[in-house]
Protein backbone atom coordinates (compact mmCIF):
# COMPACT_ATOMS: atom_id res chain seq x y z
CA UNK A 1 0.00 0.00 0.00
CA UNK A 2 1.19 3.47 -0.89
CA UNK A 3 2.30 5.21 2.28
CA UNK A 4 1.06 8.56 1.06
CA UNK A 5 -2.59 8.40 -0.01
CA UNK A 6 -3.87 10.42 -2.92
CA UNK A 7 -6.51 12.90 -1.84
CA UNK A 8 -9.26 13.67 -4.30
CA UNK A 9 -11.65 16.57 -3.82
CA UNK A 10 -15.06 16.36 -5.43
CA UNK A 11 -17.44 19.24 -5.98
CA UNK A 12 -20.93 17.99 -6.65
CA UNK A 13 -24.57 18.98 -6.85
CA UNK A 14 -27.36 17.16 -5.03
CA UNK A 15 -30.80 17.88 -6.39
CA UNK A 16 -34.12 16.39 -7.49
CA UNK A 17 -35.52 13.62 -5.32
CA UNK A 18 -32.09 13.03 -3.82
CA UNK A 19 -32.41 16.26 -1.87
CA UNK A 20 -34.74 14.32 0.39
CA UNK A 21 -32.11 11.87 1.57
CA UNK A 22 -30.22 12.73 4.73
CA UNK A 23 -26.55 13.14 5.44
CA UNK A 24 -25.86 9.59 6.61
CA UNK A 25 -27.75 8.13 3.67
CA UNK A 26 -25.77 10.35 1.31
CA UNK A 27 -22.56 9.16 2.88
CA UNK A 28 -23.60 5.53 2.38
CA UNK A 29 -24.68 6.30 -1.18
CA UNK A 30 -21.24 7.77 -1.93
CA UNK A 31 -19.53 4.78 -0.33
CA UNK A 32 -21.44 2.34 -2.50
CA UNK A 33 -20.99 4.45 -5.62
CA UNK A 34 -17.25 4.67 -4.95
CA UNK A 35 -17.09 0.91 -4.45
CA UNK A 36 -18.80 0.45 -7.81
CA UNK A 37 -16.04 2.49 -9.49
CA UNK A 38 -13.52 -0.22 -8.60
CA UNK A 39 -10.95 2.53 -7.96
CA UNK A 40 -8.11 1.67 -5.54
CA UNK A 41 -9.91 3.28 -2.61
CA UNK A 42 -8.19 4.01 0.66
CA UNK A 43 -9.71 2.55 3.78
CA UNK A 44 -9.14 3.50 7.39
CA UNK A 45 -6.83 1.25 9.35
CA UNK A 46 -7.91 -0.60 12.42
CA UNK A 47 -10.39 -3.11 13.65
CA UNK A 48 -13.27 -2.22 11.36
CA UNK A 49 -11.88 -0.55 8.27
CA UNK A 50 -14.08 2.03 6.62
CA UNK A 51 -13.82 3.84 3.35
CA UNK A 52 -12.00 7.13 3.88
CA UNK A 53 -14.57 9.70 2.94
CA UNK A 54 -15.11 13.18 4.19
CA UNK A 55 -18.13 15.33 3.44
CA UNK A 56 -17.60 19.05 4.06
CA UNK A 57 -20.91 19.82 5.68
CA UNK A 58 -24.25 18.16 6.24
CA UNK A 59 -26.81 19.62 3.88
CA UNK A 60 -30.18 19.86 5.65
CA UNK A 61 -32.88 17.56 4.32
CA UNK A 62 -34.78 19.08 1.43
CA UNK A 63 -32.08 21.60 0.51
CA UNK A 64 -30.54 21.59 -2.94
CA UNK A 65 -26.77 21.82 -3.03
CA UNK A 66 -25.03 23.00 -6.17
CA UNK A 67 -21.45 23.24 -4.93
CA UNK A 68 -21.09 20.66 -2.16
CA UNK A 69 -17.68 19.25 -1.45
CA UNK A 70 -16.24 15.96 -0.42
CA UNK A 71 -12.81 14.36 -0.14
CA UNK A 72 -11.90 10.73 -0.66
CA UNK A 73 -8.56 9.01 -0.84
CA UNK A 74 -6.91 6.57 -3.23
CA UNK A 75 -4.00 4.22 -2.71
CA UNK A 76 -2.57 4.92 -6.15
CA UNK A 77 -2.22 7.89 -8.42
CA UNK A 78 -4.51 7.70 -11.44
CA UNK A 79 -5.27 10.27 -14.16
CA UNK A 80 -8.02 12.66 -13.06
CA UNK A 81 -9.95 11.93 -16.25
CA UNK A 82 -10.12 8.27 -15.42
CA UNK A 83 -11.31 8.87 -11.86
CA UNK A 84 -13.88 11.30 -13.18
CA UNK A 85 -15.16 8.93 -15.84
CA UNK A 86 -15.53 6.03 -13.42
CA UNK A 87 -17.25 8.16 -10.82
CA UNK A 88 -19.67 9.60 -13.40
CA UNK A 89 -20.62 6.08 -14.39
CA UNK A 90 -21.28 5.04 -10.80
CA UNK A 91 -23.27 8.01 -9.53
CA UNK A 92 -27.08 8.25 -9.67
CA UNK A 93 -28.52 10.87 -12.02
CA UNK A 94 -29.40 13.36 -9.31
CA UNK A 95 -25.84 13.62 -8.01
CA UNK A 96 -23.84 15.67 -10.48
CA UNK A 97 -20.09 15.78 -10.57
CA UNK A 98 -19.03 19.41 -11.07
CA UNK A 99 -15.33 19.37 -10.38
CA UNK A 100 -12.61 16.95 -9.42
CA UNK A 101 -9.07 17.76 -8.35
CA UNK A 102 -6.17 16.49 -6.30
CA UNK A 103 -5.50 18.14 -2.96
CA UNK A 104 -2.43 18.03 -0.76
CA UNK A 105 -2.67 15.78 2.27
CA UNK A 106 -1.26 18.67 4.29
CA UNK A 107 -4.21 20.95 3.73
CA UNK A 108 -6.74 20.91 6.57
CA UNK A 109 -9.93 18.89 6.46
CA UNK A 110 -12.97 20.35 4.75
CA UNK A 111 -14.92 20.55 8.00
CA UNK A 112 -12.11 22.29 9.84
CA UNK A 113 -11.65 24.98 7.20
CA UNK A 114 -15.29 25.65 6.43
CA UNK A 115 -16.25 29.17 7.50
CA UNK A 116 -19.63 29.96 6.02
CA UNK A 117 -22.30 28.91 3.54
CA UNK A 118 -24.28 30.90 1.02
CA UNK A 119 -27.93 30.14 0.34
CA UNK A 120 -30.54 31.24 -2.14
CA UNK A 121 -34.20 30.95 -1.27
CA UNK A 122 -37.01 31.02 -3.80
CA UNK A 123 -39.92 32.41 -1.86
CA UNK A 124 -43.50 31.16 -1.90
CA UNK A 125 -45.76 32.87 -4.46
CA UNK A 126 -48.02 34.47 -1.87
CA UNK A 127 -45.19 36.32 -0.12
CA UNK A 128 -45.13 40.06 -0.70
CA UNK A 129 -41.41 40.78 -1.17
CA UNK A 130 -41.64 44.40 -0.04
CA UNK A 131 -43.44 43.41 3.11
CA UNK A 132 -40.85 40.71 3.71
CA UNK A 133 -38.05 43.19 3.18
CA UNK A 134 -39.53 45.34 5.93
CA UNK A 135 -39.83 42.38 8.29
CA UNK A 136 -36.27 41.34 7.54
CA UNK A 137 -34.88 44.83 8.19
CA UNK A 138 -36.70 44.96 11.50
CA UNK A 139 -35.41 41.57 12.48
CA UNK A 140 -31.81 42.35 11.57
CA UNK A 141 -32.00 45.66 13.45
CA UNK A 142 -32.46 43.78 16.70
CA UNK A 143 -29.44 43.34 19.00
CA UNK A 144 -30.04 39.65 19.45
CA UNK A 145 -32.22 37.11 17.69
CA UNK A 146 -32.58 34.19 20.09
CA UNK A 147 -33.82 30.86 18.71
CA UNK A 148 -34.47 27.64 20.57
CA UNK A 149 -32.54 24.54 19.51
CA UNK A 150 -33.58 21.54 21.55
CA UNK A 151 -32.87 22.79 25.07
CA UNK A 152 -30.34 25.37 24.01
CA UNK A 153 -30.81 29.00 23.09
CA UNK A 154 -28.75 30.29 20.16
CA UNK A 155 -28.34 33.87 18.95
CA UNK A 156 -29.11 33.78 15.26
CA UNK A 157 -27.95 37.37 14.86
CA UNK A 158 -24.31 36.45 15.30
CA UNK A 159 -24.65 33.65 12.73
CA UNK A 160 -26.08 35.77 9.93
CA UNK A 161 -23.27 37.31 7.91
CA UNK A 162 -25.38 38.80 5.18
CA UNK A 163 -28.97 38.69 4.11
CA UNK A 164 -31.00 40.46 1.47
CA UNK A 165 -33.73 40.17 -1.11
CA UNK A 166 -33.09 40.73 -4.80
CA UNK A 167 -35.17 40.52 -7.94
CA UNK A 168 -38.05 42.54 -6.54
CA UNK A 169 -40.78 42.51 -7.69
CA UNK A 170 -40.79 40.00 -10.53
CA UNK A 171 -38.55 37.22 -9.23
CA UNK A 172 -37.80 37.76 -5.56
CA UNK A 173 -34.91 35.69 -4.28
CA UNK A 174 -33.56 35.85 -0.78
CA UNK A 175 -29.84 35.43 -0.38
CA UNK A 176 -28.42 34.44 2.96
CA UNK A 177 -24.85 33.96 4.07
CA UNK A 178 -24.37 32.24 7.37
CA UNK A 179 -21.57 30.96 9.54
CA UNK A 180 -21.00 27.24 9.29
CA UNK A 181 -18.15 26.25 11.53
CA UNK A 182 -18.18 23.16 13.71
CA UNK A 183 -19.07 25.37 16.68
CA UNK A 184 -21.40 27.90 15.10
CA UNK A 185 -23.72 26.75 12.38
CA UNK A 186 -26.47 28.94 11.02
CA UNK A 187 -29.62 27.39 9.65
CA UNK A 188 -31.52 29.40 7.03
CA UNK A 189 -34.74 27.56 7.84
CA UNK A 190 -34.67 29.12 11.31
CA UNK A 191 -34.46 32.55 9.78
CA UNK A 192 -37.33 31.79 7.40
CA UNK A 193 -39.47 30.60 10.29
CA UNK A 194 -38.79 33.84 12.18
CA UNK A 195 -40.00 35.70 9.10
CA UNK A 196 -43.31 33.78 9.34
CA UNK A 197 -42.61 31.47 6.42
CA UNK A 198 -42.74 27.72 6.31
CA UNK A 199 -39.31 26.55 5.07
CA UNK A 200 -41.07 23.60 3.42
CA UNK A 201 -42.81 26.09 1.09
CA UNK A 202 -39.48 27.56 -0.05
CA UNK A 203 -36.91 26.15 -2.41
CA UNK A 204 -33.61 26.48 -0.59
CA UNK A 205 -30.32 26.03 -2.39
CA UNK A 206 -26.91 26.06 -0.85
CA UNK A 207 -24.94 27.82 -3.56
CA UNK A 208 -21.47 27.99 -2.11
CA UNK A 209 -19.29 26.77 0.72
CA UNK A 210 -16.68 29.31 1.82
CA UNK A 211 -13.44 27.93 3.20
CA UNK A 212 -10.49 29.44 4.99
CA UNK A 213 -8.05 30.71 2.36
CA UNK A 214 -4.80 28.82 2.41
Partner 1 sequence: MADFIDAFVIGEAEEVALELLGSFEECKRSKVSKQETLLKLSQIPGVYVPSLYDIIYAQGGSITRIIPAMQDVPPFVIKRIVPILPPHPTHLIVPNIETVHDRLSIEIMRGCTRGCRFCHAGIVNRPVRQRPVSEILQIIEDGLASTGYEEIGLLSLSSSDHTQILELTRAVYEKFHDRRIFVSLPSLRIASFSVELMDELRDLRPGGGFTLAPEAASPRMQAIINKPLDNTVIEETVRMIFEHGWLSLKLYYMIGLPGETLEDVQAIVDAGKRVLAIGRQIRGNRVRVHLSVGNFIPKPHTPFQWYPLNSMDELQTKLDLLKTGVYRTGIKLSYNIPETTLLEAWLSRGDRRLGRVIHRAWQLGAKFDAWGENDNMPFWRQAFTDCGLDPDFYAYRQRAVEETLPWDHIHTGVTKKHLLRELEFSQAGKTSPDCRQQCYACGILNTFGDKRPVSPLVYWGCP
39 to 78: interface string for partner 1, x by CB under 8 A = ----x----xx-x---------------------------
Q: Does 18 bind partner 1 (CB under 8 A)?
A: yes
Answer for which of 23, 36, 101, 142 binds partner 1 (CB under 8 A) is: 36
Decide the pairing of beta strands 64-74 and 203-211.
Answer: parallel
Q: Does 10 bind partner 1 (CB under 8 A)?
A: no
141 to 180: interface string for partner 1, x by CB under 8 A = ----------------------------------------
Contact 178, 159 (CB under 8 A): yes
Please list, in sequence order, all residues whose beta carbon lies within 8 angstroms of the beta carbon of residue 175, skipping any fewer than 6 positions away: 118, 119, 120, 121, 162, 163, 164, 165, 166
Q: Of the listed pieces 31-39, 59-67, 156-164, 202-210, which binds partner 1 according to CB under 8 A? A: 31-39
Q: Which is nearer to partner 1, 29 or 97 (CB)?
A: 29
**Minimum CB–partner distance for residue 8 and partner 1 (Å):** 17
Q: Does 92 bind partner 1 (CB under 8 A)?
A: yes
Applying CB under 8 A, the residues found at the interface with partner 1 are 18, 21-22, 24-25, 28-29, 31-36, 38, 43, 48-49, 51, 90, 92
Amino acid sequence: MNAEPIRVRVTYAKHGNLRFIGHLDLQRLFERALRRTNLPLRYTQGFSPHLRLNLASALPLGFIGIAEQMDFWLDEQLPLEEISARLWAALPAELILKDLRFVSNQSPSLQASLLSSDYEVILPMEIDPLDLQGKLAALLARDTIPVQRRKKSVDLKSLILDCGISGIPAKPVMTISMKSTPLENGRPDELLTLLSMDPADCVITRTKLNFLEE
